[in-house]
């Protein structure tokens, strides 16, 4: 995963690819389930002193939880996300990937979204 090494132009192309995948996922069954989970989370009473970081932790966990289902239902969208965080087009990613790389990249993506993961740190400014 090379997301931290991308140039500004590569980052914009990657974000567009991730946005395309997210839009498609949200239009399917996973999207419906995500909307329900988000609504349920938002309707829960929040304990006094709950930090915004708790919401981000929950959201990152929700995304990580969806990865196995994406492998089953939206593999094309998962390819888009994996290619994007590697700074490549889907075609480039598929051309240089094998089973071990894909499995490794999925694990790296989950780790990058976890607390103190590189994607969480990279986007911390957007989430504050």
25-46 burial, b if ≥16 CB within 10 A, otherwise e?
A: beeeebbeebeeeeeeeeeeee
What SS3 state is found at 48? coil
User: Two tokens at 65?
Assistant: 């939880």
pLDDT, tens only, 62-89: 877 887 887 788 888 889 999 998 889 9
Q: Residue 86 and residue 18: Cα distance in Å, rounded?
A: 12
pLDDT, tens only, 20-48: 988 888 888 888 888 888 888 878 876 66
Q: Residue 42 and residue 116: Cα distance in Å, rounded?
A: 24
- Band (124; pLDDT cuts 50, 70, 90): low
User: Per DSSP, which regions of the chain are E strands?
Assistant: none
pTM above 0.75, yes or no: no
């Amino acid at each position: 995963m090379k997301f931290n090494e991308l140039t500004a132009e590569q980052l914009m192309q990657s974000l567009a690819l991730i946005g395309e995948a997210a839009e498609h996922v949200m239009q399917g069954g996973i999207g419906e389930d995500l909307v329900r989970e988000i609504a349920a989370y938002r309707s829960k009473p929040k304990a006094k002193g709950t930090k915004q970081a708790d919401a981000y932790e929950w959201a990152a966990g929700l995304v990580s939880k969806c990865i196995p289902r994406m492998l089953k239902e939206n593999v094309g969208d998962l390819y888009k996300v994996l290619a994007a965080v590697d700074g490549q087009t889907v075609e480039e990613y598929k051309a240089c990937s094998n089973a071990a790389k894909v499995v490794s990249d999925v694990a790296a993506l989950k780790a990058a979204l976890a607390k103190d993961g590189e994607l969480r740190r990279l986007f911390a400014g957007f989430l504050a």
